A and B are shown apart, each in its own frame.
Chain A
Amino acid sequence: MISISEIIGFNFIVISPTVVLVLTALILLFFTITIPSSDVLKKLITFLGILLTNFFIFLKFGLYLTDGVSSYFSEKILLDEFSLFGNVLIGLILLFTFNSFWKTSASLEGKTTEAIILILMSASGFLLMIDSENFIMLFIGLEIGSISLYALAGLNRGDKLSNEASLKYFLLGSLASCVLIYGVALLYVSLSISGVYETSIAINFIGAQNVPLTTLIGMIFIIVGLLFKVAAAPFQAWAPDVYQGSPTGFVGYMATTAKAASFIVLARISAISIRFILDKFELFFTIVVLLSALLGALFATNQTDLKRLIAYSGVIQSGFILSGMVSGVFGISASLFYLFSYIVQLLGIFSIFSIIKGQLTSNFEIGELSGLFLNNKFLTISFSIFMFGLAGMPLTSGFVSKFILITNLWSYEKYLLVVVLMLSTVVGFYFYLRPIWIASIEKNENPLSKIDISTSDKVSVGLLAVVTLLLGILPNVLINLTRWVVENYI
């Protein structure tokens, strides 16, 4: 039997999610330019595109079952457990943010499809980044992904903060990309290779102690470029401004995809060359984690803007996730669990923000939450669940993820990290509970207008809340899944 890949000369399935997203974007573009068509049609096309993407991600599992871990396109595209996990994450993010980004785009007059196309393109970029086996490919994916994000941040052109966010994100982001590509170049100069696996093999071959300094610097630069995307301290400066300034409906997408993709890539790099990373970069990662936990906790306590608060909390959470990267293979699997549960909570929180605050606005003072409980009980309860999850309250996924992560850290005798991360958790209870207090307890002086919440919003927020609770009570399935992701490197 001749398979389809033999006919067209390359394996279509492995890049099919990316291709489908790009095609959907192109079809939308085509419709916008040529035939005047209704928004409903465009919405349908977008949604179908996202569903199809998820379907093809599902098909990739089939390909994995037949081919195993394998690479395609002359070792540029990789199909392994990490890429499957990352693909699923991005697919889920697209599904769950669809509501809010569609509404946000619809409220942008005359630029509706523009925003959607940007989002689809950036998702395709991040998928490519997750799938890439080659650092240059990774850079291309990252750039496709992030350039769209820069534009998304500034789409609300009338808003000063939005413009500021976009410019800041663009300038700092391109600086980070420069650093990353410089790292790739240094790596290539020193070892004449640019593959992820190749690097690890080469390092093993020449021995970790003989690795040239140029390679080390190159690796550090690559990692710094990725750390910038996940807003780990000291590379976090852009995050609060960008979160605050960007249109609220887009932030959920912007925050989660970049984090998911970058963390998956970081996890893969750490897993592949775990010994080398543990030897050479332990101090570097430790400092980053410590700074993230301390700076994040320090700045988050006195924020008055909710989106800035979430941004700084993201810095702490990034610290937590990164701490897993230096505590062995099980640490990486714990990180992946943490990443998943964090992304679920983040998606929920930003969906709620865009429901409450309308889509295009930038500022979101904490005080504006007051009286939410009287206005809409469903939103308040799910908001509380997500915030308790971020704080790490038992019976939510936040507790389980912190538990397994800290257990791993302790077993690697990283006591300093344990103490600092736990302290930041205590501080976290202060600033995570404050919005809950204001939303559910404080009396309202100038009431919010009645929030009307669509069924699709209700379903997606409810699902995310249920997942947050379920992962806290029965975490076994996802923990085994994340273990399966790192199975080959144990």
Chain B
Amino acid sequence: MNAVIFSLLLVPLFGSFFIFIIPKNRVELFRPVSILFTLISLTQAVYLLFDSKLTGNFKTYASFEWISLYGLDLNFGLSGMSILLLVLSALLVTVSILSVSDSHSQSKGFIGSILTLHFAINGVFISGDLVSLFIFFEAILIPMYFLMGIWGGENRRYATIKFIIYTVFGSIFIFIGTIYTGLLSYSVNGRLALDYNTLSQLSFSSSQSKVLFALFTIGFLIKVPLFPLHTWLPDAHVEAPTAGSILLAGVLLKVGAYGILRVSIPFFTEGFIQFRFLIACLSVVGIIYGAIVAIAQIDIKKLIAYSSVSHMGFVMLGISAGAYLSIEGAIIQMVNHGITSGALFMLVGFIYDRRHTRKISDFGGLKLRMPLYAGIFLFTSFASIGLPGLNGFVGEFKILMGSFEAFKVLSIISAFGVVLAAIYMLWAYQRMFTGTIVNEENNTLLDLNYREIISVMPLLILMLLIGIFPGKLENLVSEESEYLSELIFYFVGGK
């Protein structure tokens, strides 16, 4: 088991090292070699997915001594949710490398940064204690900094600095929270034991629980991002290169929600009870606000970015409702949003590579020239809206159903978010694809090539499969959602 866990970290790391030593003139090798490595980690993650012993609650499988003076260990383990997210991230990394244009894939730094990002993301999902979680949470910033900084758009400097400062500001809270938790654990265990097993046995007083929940959750919510902490997201998405956007929307936003589910709620449940109505309200504001702002966008990438704010609002609503169904729905929605928004950003990237513009008004009538592209875009839009039979429906339906009991009014309001999603996605589709070609430049556009079709196809298949057979996904996360919802129920009942 040790070997499996560490290879999840080492494969991407070796991959980036391998890319580093390939001779500079063999640029055509970068893409296949890196995809080889990401396929290895994808296979590993999928293999773990089918091992029913691993897909329950979080279990620690490996640990090693880090600072013996304080008795601080680094722990690594797995759970159903983390394996699911490992699969998602490996898949998205693979398709994003496949989908980027040659100018990016032939750059050592670009591919190396993506593999390093893969390493850090895997680290977050397998970390079994607060310190290693924090280390990898922060380490994500380094490759993102270079991805956005070097290969970003016009205004990338502003967006990158904003992204970094927001995240660092949030992670300072997590840092302080980690230290506070560690010292509380020290007073009980006689060492800085921060692994999840030890923490779940610690009992915090009501005020400690509140403070710690607030500290951790602010840090994670910036990453989610919850309204009003979301302002870095549109800038970051617009300026990031396509692969960066795919991974940012697909995986990095999930890191925040993952942290809340993994750390904030199980260990500081009492604090969660105190704050959950506030979080739910902000989520609903985010759902509606994100959707309305998305309607008004003239830049298609910014539109999808704001739709992310809206969709991640659903995730946070489901989490804060705390019912079994809603938590399960939230985790499924995390995966679904990763797939659909990843696909949407990829599709936008394809058209951007051809036209070097993202303005909706520059397009129109694209269906005539790129019928396949238009079809795929429509399909993905439907998935994003939450059409029954596609993946988006499963998560949002569960969330709305699960949270109705806890927050009746809020879930009714947030149901309008689905309607608004239909408006912004379909209106954008109408403006971009239907009608006649107004802009002369669009006349020469070519439809998707094989590479592009192959890179988007896995995501489309998954959208359909999850929509029709959501059962497997539910099995994976049911144990964890049950544990969390029972914990929350216990604390609510205790009041």
A404 to B135, Cβ gap below 8 A? no
B126 vs chain A, min Cβ distance (A): 16
Q: Which B residues are in CB contact (< 8 Å) with A406?
A: 175-176, 179
Closest Cβ neighbor of B66 among chain A residues: A476
Q: Is B418 an interface residue (CB 8 A)?
A: no
Decide: B68 and A480 in contact? CB cutoff 8 A: yes
Contact A422 B149 (CB under 8 A): no
Contact with A along B463-494 (1 / 0, CB 8 A): 00000000000000000000000000000000
A343 and B218 alpha carbons, distance in the complex (Å):
34
Residues of A with C-beta under 8 A to B139: 393-395
B286 sits at the interface (CB 8 A): no
Give Cα A89 to B138, complex, Å: 30
Verify if A407 is at the interface (C-beta below 8 Å from B): yes
B360: Cβ under 8 A from any A Cβ = no
Q: How far is the CA of A99 from the CA of B70 in the complex (A)?
A: 38
Report Cα–Cα, A388/B141, bound state, in Å: 11
Q: Are B165 and A426 in contact (CB under 8 A)?
A: yes
| Inter-subunit contact B164/A475 (CB<8 Å) | no
**Chain A: interface residue count, which band?**
20 to 34
Chain A residue at smallest Cβ distance from B145: A433
Q: What 0/1 readout, one digit per residue, does chain B (145-178) give for beta carbons within 8 Å of chain A?
A: 1100110000001001100110011001001100
Residues of B close to A362: CB separation below 8 A: none
Q: Which residue of A lies closest to B157 (CB)?
A: A437
State which residues 119-156 of B face A: CB under 8 Å. 131, 134-136, 138-139, 141-142, 145-146, 149-150
- Bound complex: CA of A426 vs CA of B67, how far in Å? 25
Residues B179 and A426 in contact, CB atoms below 8 Å apart: no
Inter-chain contacts of B168 with A (CB < 8 A): 425-426, 429
Main DSSP-derived SS at the A contact region: helix
Which residues of chain B have C-beta atoms less than 8 A from A474's C-beta? Answer: 66
Q: How far apart are the CA atoms of A388 and B180 in the complex, in Å?
A: 25
Indicate if A259 sits at the interface (CB-CB under 8 A).
no
Smallest CB-CB separation from B65: which chain A residue? A476
Contacts of B67 in A (CB 8 A): 400, 404, 475-476, 479
* A480 with B69, Cβ < 8 A, contacts A410-B179, A410-B183 known: yes
B165 touches A429 (CB 8 A): yes
Is A170 close to B, CB under 8 A?
no
| Cβ-closest chain B residue relative to A483 | B69
Q: Are B164 and A433 in contact (CB under 8 A)?
A: yes
Please name all residues of chain B whose beta carbon is closer than 8 Å to the beta carbon of A388 when the two chains form the complex: 142
Q: Which of A455-490 contact B (CB under 8 A)?
A: 474-476, 479-480, 483
* Closest B residue, CB atoms, query A419: B176
| B157 adjacent to A479 (CB under 8 Å) | no
Interchain CA distance A388-B138 in the complex, whole Å: 11
List residues 391-444 of chain A with CB under 8 A from any CB of chain B. 393-395, 399-400, 403-404, 406-407, 410-411, 418, 422-423, 425-426, 429-430, 433, 436-437, 440-441
Contact A429 B164 (CB under 8 A): yes
Contact between B172 and A441, CB atoms less than 8 A apart: no
Instruction: Decide: A394 and B135 in contact? CB cutoff 8 A.
Output: yes
Please tell me if the beta carbons of B183 and A411 are within 8 angstroms of each other in the complex. Answer: yes
Tell me if B175 and A422 are in contact (CB < 8 A).
yes
Q: Does B100 contact A (CB under 8 A)?
A: no
What CA separation (Å) do A475 and B70 show in the bound complex?
12
Is residue B192 within 8 Å, beta carbon to beta carbon, of the partner chain?
Answer: yes
A449 to B132, CA, bound (A): 42
Q: Which 7 pairs across A and B sit closest by C-beta, in order of nearness?
A: A394-B135, A394-B138, A441-B149, A429-B168, A422-B172, A410-B179, A407-B179
Q: 4 additional contacts, CB 8 Å, given A422-B175, A474-B66?
A: A404-B67, A426-B168, A429-B164, A429-B168
Q: List the interface of chain A (C-beta within 8 A of B).
A: 388, 393-395, 399-400, 403-404, 406-407, 410-411, 418, 422-423, 425-426, 429-430, 433, 436-437, 440-441, 474-476, 479-480, 483
